[in-house]
Amino acid sequence: MRSSGSSKAGPMQHSGGAMAQFRTGMVDAVLREIAELLEKLAVSGEPGFIDLRSMPMTDADRAELEERLGRGEVEASLDVAGTSEVRETGYAGVWWIRHAGAGGKVAAEEIAVAEVPEILKAHHADIAAAASRLNRDLAENMPNALKEDAGDA
């Protein structure tokens, strides 16, 4: 039986309840899969991911998995169509990602095995738009003395 997770705004947490303390034994299997994905990333550069919400894991399983993976040095929060938290685990290239929807309820949770998770990468179109915007801002805010020198050239 799968437990339902919920959270409040801020650090996303899972709900308690009778099933919260029950462990299914899934953690070792998930860790073996992570190890395989990490080896593949190291050898070929191919990223992978594990959708934790699609697995029959309880809150106790998730807590054990989080504890065994540990915490790394990088954490990021995003506010796009809800709140997303991205946290590096104690293993380089292994990232814990939680997405919360309305009311802070955890809507998706995954382990990404990648150099940098896709959610943190800037999209090419956004980068191009930012470059145009910055160049426009620079042109509009260039001091008059520099504008005159540029006009003399």
> What is the tens place of the pLDDT at every residue in 14-51?
444 544 578 888 999 999 999 999 999 999 999 999 99
- Per the prediction, the chain carries an average pLDDT of 84
Q: Structural domain boundaries of the chain?
A: 1-118, 122-153
pTM recorded for the entire structure: 0.73
Asked if 106 and 12 touch (Cβ cutoff 8 Å), the reply is yes
> Residues 6 or more apart from 40 whose CB is under 8 A from it?
46, 48, 113
- Domain 1-118 falls in which CATH fold? Ribosomal Protein S8; Chain: A, domain 1 (3.30.1370)
Measured CA to CA, the distance from residue 137 to residue 5 in angstroms comes to: 45
Residue 130 has pLDDT above 50, yes or no: yes
